[in-house]
Structure 1
Amino acid sequence: MIRRVVVAMSGGVDSAVTALLLKNKGFRIIGVFMKNWDIRDETEKCIVEKDYDDARWICDKLEIPSIQIDFVKEYWNEVFSDLLEKYQNGYTPNPDILCNKNIKFDKFFHLARNKFQADAIATGHYAKTSFGPYLENYKANTSKYFILNVRLLQAQDSNKDQTFFLSQIPQQTLRHCMFPLGNYLKNHVKLMATQAGLCQIVRKKESMGLCFVGKRDFQDFISEYIADKPGDYIDLDSGLLIGKHDGIHKWTIGQRCKIAGCLKPYYVFSKDHGSNTITVVRAGTTHSALYTNFLITEKIYWISEEPCELRQTNSVLNCNFRFQHRNPLIACRVYKMSSDRLFIRLAAPLRAITKGQYAVLYSGEECLGSSMISYAGPSYFALGQLYKLHSLP
């Protein structure tokens, strides 16, 4: 049975209550803080130092050991470098999904298992698994356990559900993961923390956005790592050059941009890495060019297994889709292309779908998996690709 659990401590209320719940269940807990970033912000302070101090204070309060581990090199090589490369090439990456895949549920997982002999790891993510929040039926020495695929399920608190960010977790890791907060609402988690005397953590402001950017403007931050490369703004409707930009890495699809000399705002329609041009549209946020209901992905990662609907030639999977964490789910039809790439047809057009983002698929409460979007644009191109595979239903 599970006895020793390593909890990823972030210094926030969610990981604090995760450790509290597991300790109260009788597990032997080790709190581990991951240091993934060590570059100083504009105030010359390392932005993770305060979080580590908070994590250590929580562990002392809960009377569990606390340890800091350094993944700065790994994070730079496997997450941040990828982010820089994608921004340079006109993509809009999602470092949170990549961090979970490569750092928290790979490097951290293996360190917890090998160095601390943990039976399982636990995090403060709002999610559930088909094993249940505490894996009460887990038996480390049963061969049956190791051949059973675990499913990733949405949390009870739909507003806090984080399965979107967990959609690339390796199956082998998921079999040893615990998400104690999956059956709780956020306000209940805060109440439990308050009752446990963790009031200063409850009052702490939740981190939002990219952790390494801090309080800086993103365009200023990214310019510290990618050199500005001026290019042209082109109006999609007129085809005219209407201004100059400092670099495609500073902008993403659908973003509002002020162009010198233009009285009305424009919005980014597309970025061309080859010509270094940004095509923009006017007419507010509702310009039809900003919407699409067709997209193509890279190779899909299925968390449990490939749905049976896609195992036959010319078959179609009906499921739900989202490409941003808080977006509502939307119905879609999924077609499998060569090399396990997907063609996805949405039930209704969505605004500002961007290559580099992730298409995350759901069936009911289950998160099936995800794939990076490689194309999302004018429907006429996408339709041509779809006709090569099937006749439109």
Structure 2
Amino acid sequence: MSFSISSCTILTSNYCSNSSVPVFSYFLNEYEKGRTPNPDVLCNKHIKFNHFLNYAIDNLGADAIATGHYARTSHEDEDIFQNQYLKSSQTLFRNRFEIRNNVKLLQAADFFKDQTFFLSQISQCALRKTLFPLGGLTKDFVKKIAAEAGFHHVLKRKESMGICFIGERNFEKFILEYLEPQPGNFVSIEDGKILGTHKGWFLFTLGQRARIGGLRDPWFVVDKDVATGDIFVAPCTDHPALFRDLLRTDRMHWIAEEPPAELVNNKMMDCHFRFQHQMALVPCVLTLNQDGTVWATLVKPIRALTPGQV
């Protein structure tokens, strides 16, 4: 639907189109490679804040889009309508003579409901043309507004959970509809002993409890070998093998389109890190490599640092 504010058209969205197919393909490919992707992040990047945004502005005459994410930006609402709509550059680097006032993505006022993690891959041009009306409100206050407006049916609905295009279905049953079973062994990280078998490494993520038939005590996934199909497990939830303090990214996505000046000049920068929604921010040191990838060295090791989640 669309509506007007001060003669400016805003389009709101809560859908996924056929463009979700590439996102779903990527989702399956990542699992086949042994990683654990976050399709909600990709759905925002490729669909809501790309195809939907472009369609709204190019075809429907919208001046901006508004979403229900709990997030804020460094721009006031009126600034959004004054921004020129400049699509992201199709080349590796943008025109160095192009002048822009970069918009920052900021945490919501409600830290518990903050959804900036899911918006971490959207483009600068999308951020410049997006309103987040709920960013300065708490969820409880939004519910109060809804109750006063008579939207009681909305208040009774359960909050959406699970992966956007899967929902609350059984994950194992769902994924096995698309990927062939790849049987392998559960192998103890302690002594290399085979403890049981599984239907596929893609059914498990690091840190997850591995329910192994015949064993009463809990074992947890430490690592996976896609080549052999082995899943390595540890006998307790805080086993040292579950903790990591170093990761390397693929080429980084910078919301400002370019790395921070401090990182470019010094090749290192103090920062904070998280790889899951609602995870506490962890201090780290970034190191910028010549190929655009980044090393993140964590001040303190964290449990179940999972490839594909960052």
Ranges in structure 1 where 5+ consecutive residues have no aligned partner: 1-5, 8-18, 37-70, 359-393
With over 3 angstroms needed to count, the CA separation of the structure-2 counterparts of 1:327 and 1:33, relative to structure 1, is closer
Q: Contact 2:263 / 2:287 at 8 angstroms: preserved in 1? A: yes
Residue 9 (structure 2) pairs with residue 75 (structure 1):
no
- Cross-structure match for 1:93: 37
In structure 2, the residue matched to 1:327 is 279
Tell me which of 182, 204, 207 is aligned to 1:229: 182
Contact 2:12 2:67 in 1 (8 A): no
Cα offset, 1:30, TM superposition: 4.6
SS in 2 for 1:289: helix
Asked if 2 retains the 8 angstrom alpha-carbon contact of 1:233 and 1:244, the reply is yes
Paired AA for residue 148 in structure 2: Q
Deviation at 1:215, TM superposition (A): 3.4
Q: How does 1:110-125 map to 2 (within 5 A)?
A: 110-125=54-69
SS state of the match for residue 353, structure 1?
coil
C-alpha RMSD of matched pairs (Å): 2.1
2:64–2:80 contact (8 Å) kept in structure 1: no
- Residue identity over aligned pairs, in percent, reads 41
Task: Decide whether aligned partners of structure 1 residues 130 and 218 sit closer, same or farther in structure 2, where only a CA change above 3 A counts.
Answer: same
**1:148 maps onto 2:130 in alignment:** no
Displacement, 1:213? Answer: 2.3
The residue type paired with residue 252 of structure 2 is I
Query: CA 1:329–1:124 in structure 2 vs 1: closer, same or farther (change >3 Å)?
Result: same
Q: Residues 346-372 of structure 1: CA distance to partner in whole angstroms, max 9, x if unpaired?
A: 1111111111111xxxxxxxxxxxxxx
User: Residue in 1 aligned with 2:288?
Assistant: 336
Distance 1:214 1:97, change over 3 A: closer
Give the Å deviation of 1:216.
Answer: 2.1
In structure 2, distance between residues paired with 1:224 and 1:350: 33
State how 1:199-214 maps to structure 2 within 5 Å: 199-214=152-167
Q: 1:142 to 1:214 in 2, by over 3 A?
A: closer
Residue 272 of structure 1: which of 204, 225, 230 is its match? Answer: 225
The count of residues paired between Structure 1 and Structure 2 equals: 298
TM-score by length of 1: 0.72
Q: Paired residue for 1:241?
A: 194
Deviation of the 1:211 alpha carbon? 2.9
Q: In the alignment, residue 128 of structure 2 is paired with which amino acid? A: R
Corresponding residue of 2:82:
139
CA contact (8 A) 1:292 1:353 kept: yes
Answer whether contact 2:83 2:129 (CA < 8 A) is retained.
Answer: no
Whether contact under 8 Å (1:170, 1:303) holds in the other structure is: yes
Question: Aligned-pair distance for 1:146?
Answer: 6.7
Unmatched 5+ stretches in structure 2: 87-97
Which residue type is aligned with residue 135 of structure 1?
Answer: E
1:318 corresponds to which letter in structure 2? Answer: D
Cα distance in 2 between the residues matched to 1:117 and 1:206 = 32
Residue 28 of structure 1 and its aligned partner are, at CA, apart by 4.5
Task: Please report how far the alpha carbon of residue 294 of structure 1 lies from its aligned counterpart in structure 2 after TM superposition.
Answer: 1.0
Amino acid at match of 2:20: Y
TM-score, normalization by structure 2:
0.90
Residue of structure 2 in register with 1:215 after alignment: 168
The alpha-carbon distance between structure 1 residues 239 and 102, as it changes in their structure 2 partners (threshold 3 A), is same
